Chain A
Amino acid sequence: MLPELGQMALLIAFVLSLLLGTLPLWGAQRGNVALQLTARPLSFALLAAVTVSYILLTMAFVQHDFSVAYVAKNSNTLLPVMYQVSAVWGAHEGSLLLWVLTLCVWIAAVAVFSKNLPDVVHARVLAIMGLVALGFLAFTVITSNPFERMLPAPLEGHDLNPLLQDPGLIFHPPLLYIGYVGFSVAFAFAIAALIEGHIDTRWIRWARPWTNVAWAFLTLGIALGSFWAYYELGWGGWWFWDPVENASFMPWLVGAALLHSQATTEKRGSFSSWTLLLAIAAFSLSLLGTFLVRSGVLTSVHAFASDPERGMFILAFLCCVVGGSLVLFALRAPKEAGKPFQWQSRESLLLLNNLLLTAAAAMVLLGTLYPLLADALGLGKVSVGPPYFGKLFLILMAPLVLLIPFGPLSRWQRENLSDIARWLAPWLALAVLIAVIAYFRAPQHPLKSAMAWFSGIWLALGTARFVWHRFAQSQGRFTAEIIGMVTAHAGVAVFCFGALMTEGLSVEKDVAAKPGQSFEVGDYRFTFLGVTEVAGANFIAQRGDIQIGIGERHLGILHPEKRQYASGGSSMTEADMHGGLTRDLYVALGEPTDNAGGWALRLHVKPFVRWIWFGAILMALGSLIVIFDKRFKRKGHEA
């Protein structure tokens, strides 16, 4: 009975989104205020309907209602309650419902916080978001109904994919979705502006906090996914250039460009059509990500069970949304206005930042789709791997790293870059000096280690130089916007240092260990004590005991596991690590090597690896701090 109610709620939501997508838009065209005002109540009703549907699906999981096909496929009675709740978004149908729910939460949030907007803009923005919701609800109802019954009901379900039975993965999809979907706000504002026919810096000021929140969540989502891969997948890597990772990384890059160009357009009026295009692109890439993951076009470890019919549906939807908005853009994009600027100015630097970030996104897009292109043209099956992505990405990001400290120090409109160069020169020299020392002292990969020290120190000191400049010049007046920017740029410094140090100085050893044997990796000592069998809630594990130490000091005992889940399938590796600020010690269990208790072990020492995620958290935090700036709190309709 309850699943049918859930389905009913989903259908009601579909009708509500149809109304939300049409009535206010029509009202806005006709100047009918009554119709425009339907937007807000319809938004709330839509959220309510989708929430009911979502809660009912969760209840089906918690009550083990295996007559629902989706529940039977992704849960079983042994599954811990925490994972029963998160299993809702563990596969295609449910995660799509979560997508829709997230979108409806954003719609309702815009409805609540947009009271100051003119009714027409308000109606258009909500209606456009309603149309996006309509597309996704149609997709859910037509091709991916999570409430479909399976009769007779099986007594026991399969299991949630063991890979997903991890606390980190509970929050990874919701965070990502909040980010993805959040770009729909900037998108809706861009489309509303294009329909309106002229761009008003007010809408940009209005859209900026939303973009910042979306980007911050996307950053956290990606970072969490990367951290999960690091400790769950068992070999200590943190980024794989996997098609699905790329799918989330492209909107992130374009989103980062959008943050900067929105700020420019809001303050100076420059780049207005470029900002509109980026807003469209950021959301389009989020949709493209959804398409790539679910259509089966690209093979990937993350891919959901794919289905050509679903692929066609999303492709059609993608064409409507992206094609439609780009047609609108071609017809109505505003002429470049804005205040004039010289080439030595903050505008130019921001333009350069935008070009580098979008070029990086284009590079990732090309690399991700190239295998498909080659296949379509009959050039054979090709894979594009980390060598391509890693090198090109480094080449594109290196100038960005060099330029970051210049941006905040420069002035709008015109600037004498040689002044700034003079301020920064000592710090640049210091960074180079340290990099040279690092180059000659590095035990391996000297270039990477030099780049790590250079980028970390240059970015940190360059940003600090700006803070000092600010103290000296404007009596230490720091707005939330500036504090946020400094935090995020410091995050980039921390990230670059961590990423390059890990890449350059990690030591790994694969060994065949006998009980009692010790191994030296870097300065650390790993002693293998043996493997015992332990039982978990829904799995049996081989559990290793490895003592770690440095010199005379014992640091503790690590317990990597190899798990076999009761529901069958291949075994899972649970690595264990001793984390620290300056290094992680990481142990993963391989396979048994003989019958006398010998096992293959992977031992890693990873310097500064945690800084990668500290950096990401700082970037996200910085992006969030910006929204508390006074400029976004201004009431009323004034410009």
Chain B
Amino acid sequence: MPNIRLEGITVSYGRNNALDSYDLEVRDGEYLCLLGPTGAGKTTTLRTICGLTLPQTGKVIFDGKDITSTEPEERKAAMLSQGYSLFPHMTVRENISFGPEIRNWGEKERNESVSSMLDLVRLTRRADSFPHELSGGMQQRNALARALASGAEVLLLDEPLRALDARLRIDLRGELRSLSKSLGITTVHVTHDQDEALVMADRIAVIRKGRIVQIGTPREVFDDPRTPFVANFLGQSNFVNGFVRESGDRTILEDRVGRLMPGRASDLELGDQAVLGVKIGQTQISKDGEGHLKGEIERMLFEGHYIHVDMQVEDLGRFACKLPPRKMEEFDTGEVVNISWDPHEASIFPYPEGGLENELRVE
């Protein structure tokens, strides 16, 4: 299956750059999630890979071969859009055999291919049903089978789970990934849902304003975010603004009221303005003991796996943390607690151009 490379791609609509000298590599057989907010350029990336959008500059390369000007139908890339676009008057089987290319195959070959696709997506027993008789999950598998039946080697999924109920989405994540993996097909999956990306991807590419901000395994992107935006988009972070007072194997920031806060080593210099970001899941609170900050508990929300705690920190604003449910009784709204974190869990970033609030905007 092909390795895909996009090199220096620019796509603009009017005055806006949807993709801005954009580079991306998807490895052979990889399941890559392209994660970012609405309008970041996710769908444009897919359209560029399959040839529906022609870039103003740059190259699309499959397995070392420049295919920038190759027609979409010759690229062996199948795109599955948000709506499933099945033909409502055709059965599951007919929808699959109507796929481009496969239509023109010999009857025997075509029937074999359709049967194996039905089997793969577990719709053999529903082969003669119409789309409206199927559940959302089945319709999605039907659309997937149609896309794959014509021998696609690259699968482009545009928010494939978006139209489904939240609970069902969780169950179908594993199914979709194993389908792609069992075919060994190179897959690019576009999503705005960070949990979906964490669970499904071999690697996540975080995209914002037409550029890739960071690419890496889920663990790399979650644990070692390159920008405050990434730190906050995957898993939510608390942020503190300050100036570098100490650097070395750890960095110490001082905020404007003189509080000292430790974080990871960085290459920032003494006196630089910087931002410390720590995941809310790595933020601890206690009633006694030492803390880097003090906060007053504003509310505690039971969320199943965790309790979400919001606090107000003087001169800083809202801070949040997650507690295991058994700690529900230990704390109360209105209480003042010590907030701390392991310095190795706190990322240090140079103060973003355009300000922190702007950097963190999720839409």
Q: Do A and B come from one complex?
A: no
